[in-house]
Amino acid sequence: MLLVIDIGNTNITLGAFEGIDLKASMRMTTQIHRTSDEYGILLHDLLLAKGLKLDEIKAVTIASVVPNIMHSFVSGIIKYIGITPMIVAAGTKTGIKTPTPNPKEIGADRIVDAVAAYEIYGGPVLVIDFGTAITYDLITEDGSFIAGVTSPGLRISANALWRETAKLPEIEIALPDTILAKDTITSMQAGLVFGCIGQTEYIVKRMLAESQIAGCKVVATGGLGKIISENTDVINVYDANLTLKGLKIISDKNGVGR
């Protein structure tokens, strides 16, 4: 069994693959100030709660955008699962070309998403990840990562809205029935969600127009991406497990877990 782990700024998402099948997925919050024992015990307990036997895990692959937790997190895996994980980094075989001025600056999560979208849905493809930040990455037909856009995620925008204003409350991020809001909460929801939909549509159309790439699929992922994808026609596919699938594909390309 292969355990894949995506360490994001807000959440850590884990997936257990048996062959090509995703047997289980789980999520925990990302906290910098945890020891290797704390991470190890959390992982141990999560896996057992999902009915997974630790001795069946033969390999672990990690993609991370949070370098400050990596020492403790990796140490926890080694101590409690007994495996030294592969870390997706520059030099890892991915099948994606990065003809950009500073390819090492591209986050591992973006490369993983690009791999999954390209391998599963084909190129050219524009992949959007609605995470802590919203990322838009354009992959050509030959698998070249040629452009990326980064904007604040919905939760970042929401946190700024209620933290930087005296009277606006903390609210649930949800799609209101109408943009014609008549109270404070729905007016904030309308601004956040419809604003994000509008941003998504504009950025997608602008990227495709400037790149002059025809026949490009648009694939979205990320926790809040479902709300957006269901309310716009510029997104062709929403795949909640895109990142986990990308980690599995990269693991296979590097002979991990065989």
The candidate with the shortest Cα–Cα distance to 219, out of 228, 84, 106, is: 228
CA distance linking residue 160 with residue 180, whole number of Å:
22
Cβ atoms 3, 57 nearer than 8 A: yes
256's tokens: 């991990």
Task: Say which of 109, 113, 129, 239 is annotated catalytic.
Answer: 109
Q: For this structure, is 109 an active site residue?
A: yes
DSSP for 211-240 reads: HT--S-EEEEESTTHHHHHTT-SS--EE-T
Q: What are phi and psi for residue 205, nearest 5 degrees?
A: -65, -40
Q: What are phi and psi for residue 37, nearest 5 degrees?
A: -65, -40
CA distance linking residue 12 with residue 30, whole number of Å:
6
CA distance linking residue 10 with residue 69, whole number of Å:
12
Cβ atoms 28, 12 nearer than 8 A: yes
Task: List residues with catalytic annotation.
Answer: 109
